[in-house]
Structures are given as structure tokens and as C-alpha cells.
Amino acid sequence: MIYLDNAATTRMYDECMKEFERYSLFEYFNPSALYNLSLGVNNSVKNARRAIASAINADADEIIFTASGSEADNLAIFGGLKRKNKKLIFSSVEHSAVYNSALELKNQGYTVIFAPVDGFGRVDAEKFIELLDEDVILVSIMQVSNETGAVNDIKKLAEYTKEYAKNALFHVDGVQGFMKIKTNVKNLGIDLYSMSAHKIHGPKGVGALYIRKGVNLKPIIFGGGQEFGLRSATENVAGIAAFAKAVEITSKKEDYGYSRSKELLSYLADTLLKKYCGHIIVNTDLSNCAPHILSVAFDNIRGEVMLHALEKRGIIIGTGSACSSKKSNKRIPLSLGLRSEFFDGMLRISLSTDNTKNDIDRLIEAIDIEYVSLKNYK
């Protein structure tokens, strides 16, 4: 099998699996208990908190562990709201964890504004400024688009927010950017930053939220008061330890090991454009994108049909966010400004550092074969 859907999830590192096993089968004690064995586990959680904080230049006590990136997004958004009848700004292409939170807040009576993006999925900075005023209390913008790999200029957008909406919290969904591009939360000037383990070869079911010192959130889960009172529930020690191990391994790779991945995606894009000139659009700005995601759209095939055709040949790709793949959703192509004939033809290829040129060549060969039989299928 050739796996090219790493933006959806990644294979766990073997070393992470060993950490997961260690804290599930042997050191499985509740970190909140008082006996010495639990104190050792509690220290392991503290060490993991320091490791993840260090990866984004945060302090350990600014990291809250959650059960997912989606939960981290929800805690940032719902936990940060203190005044009603105010404005909230999100980009129009946010991941469903953020976008559907925005819709829920709209239902609750908040004024929700969706900032427009360019054809690659980046927030239009000039139009963004026009949306800002003193009534804005929260801005949530993704660091890297899970659909196209577009990288937002978070530092600039945060500066604009602090200038024109000085009381607003600035949240970044960093799930696709964390450990893919260098991130210094202090330099970015943001308040909140969401992360997820399973996007970086850690386990599913564990994430984290950076909360800048001085930012006060309300909990959205209540119980025993774990995680500084912000996220009650017995800590998922096995997942947290494996998350930290994934960060440790990735941190040792120069440029996180993704420089070759970007070269492979450029090669793929160039090849497809030459082969299918006039019948394909590249939705990824290869001069300014994350190194692991390429989005393309064909005008005369259905992306889902191509996905299953390639799957039969042992090649796994995506059509977009796995969290919304079961829904008929035109939101992303509309936001990108795609012509209607390309709406159904979007494909997303996303790499890990293990993918090779041979993987890409086999993908190209398979698309060549399947395109002939699928181009008239609707």
C-alpha cells in the first residue's frame, strides 16, 4: 500500500507505540493518586508538557492536554467567550472543528463573520482588516489549511487584530502546522494554539492547547479539576507520553524532515499540469505552502470516484478533510472561487517523510490509467 493521506492521520512511530504500551500495561497508574508509583507517572506527564511547550517556545504551564485537536479548538473558542452580543471572526475555510463551532455560536446569538480567502485558501489580509473593530472579541484563523496547505501570515493577522480589536483573543488552529513549519507562539503574538498528536505520528485521542499567560478561559468539561482546572478527566498518560515522543523524534529532523516532501509535491503538480493542461487546477500555492499537502481539482471526474479507483490499486489519497468527507459540502470550493465544473473533482495528496519519488510515480501512473475510464463518469 502507498499511503498519501497523511493530512487525515499518520502511522504512529514505533517508538511512540512503545511509550503507549509502557504506560498502558506497566506504568498505568492514575497520575493524581498519592502513592509513589503515581508520582512517577505524574512526573512523566510534566516532562511531556515541557517537551511539547518547548516545540513552540511556550512555557510548560501554558500547555493543557485535551482528547483531540478538535477539543482543543472547542476549549479555545467556547472557553474564551465572556461577553454576548459581540462579534467573532473565523476564516471561511476553517476545519469543521472550528467552522461548526462558529455555526453553533451563531445559533446562540453571536455575530459570526467569515473572513474571505484567496484562491489558495489564505485569508485576504486587506479584507480581514475591514472586519475588525472594538466589538470583536475572538478571532480564530488556521495556521495551515488542511485542504490546500496554504500558510496564513498569522503574525500579521494577529498584529492587525491587536491594533483594531485590542480586546479580542486570537486563536490559531495549528493542527496541520504543528511540527510541519517552525512555530514560535511568543513571536507570533497569539493567545491560543491548538495541536494534535495523530497528525505527527503520535496516537489518536490526544491533543493540546497553548494558552498564553494572562488569558483566562472557562472550562467546558467539569469534574476533578485536572489540567489546572481547565480540562477535568483522568489524564491519558499513555497518549500524552507517546505525543511527547513524536515531538521528540520530529524535532531531531532538520526542517522536520519535510524538505524532500515539498520537492515531491512540486514534481507531482508539474507533471499533472503538463498531462492534463486545461482540465486540472492546482489549489496549492507551491511557493508558500506547508510541505506536506497538495490539492488539485479535475474538471471532468469526481474526486470520490478517483479515490476509490486508486484505492483498488493500493494507493490511498484524500478528497479533503476526513472530518467532513461524508457530507455534501461545497463550502471549500466556493471559498476558493473554483468554477462549478471543478467542484466535484478535488483531490488531496498529503505526504509523510517516509514517502518516496517511487510512490509519486506510481500515483501518476495510476491516475493516467484511471483518468481515461473516469473522465466521462458523473
Residues annotated as part of the active site: 323
CB 81 within 8 A of CB 57: no
As beta bridge partners, residue 295 has 348
| C-alpha distances out from residue 272 to 82, 261, 341, Å | 49, 17, 18
Which one-letter amino acid corresponds to residue 54?
S
Place of cell 499540469: 273
Neighbouring-strand partners of residue 210: 63, 193
Question: Which are the contacts of 26, defined by CB distance < 8 A and separation ≥ 6?
Answer: none
CA atoms within 13 A of residue 271's CA, in its CB half-sphere = 16
* CA–CA distance, 52 with 245 (Å, rounded to integer): 9
Task: Confirm if 191 and 171 have CB atoms less than 8 A apart.
Answer: yes
Pairing of strands 192-196, 207-211: antiparallel
Please, which residues bridge with residue 136 across strands? 87
Within 8 A by CB and 6+ apart from 254, the residues are: none
Phi-psi region of 114 (alpha: psi -120 to 50; beta: other; left: phi over 0): beta
Grid coordinates belonging to 60: 510548560
- From CA 149, how far away is CA 286, in angstroms rounded? 9
Alpha-helical segments (H) within the chain: 14-21, 36-55, 69-79, 96-107, 125-131, 154-164, 185-188, 237-251, 259-275, 303-312, 331-336, 357-374
Strand partners, 209: 64, 194
How far apart CA 71 and CA 65 sit, in angstroms, is 10
Give me 224's grid cell: 476533578
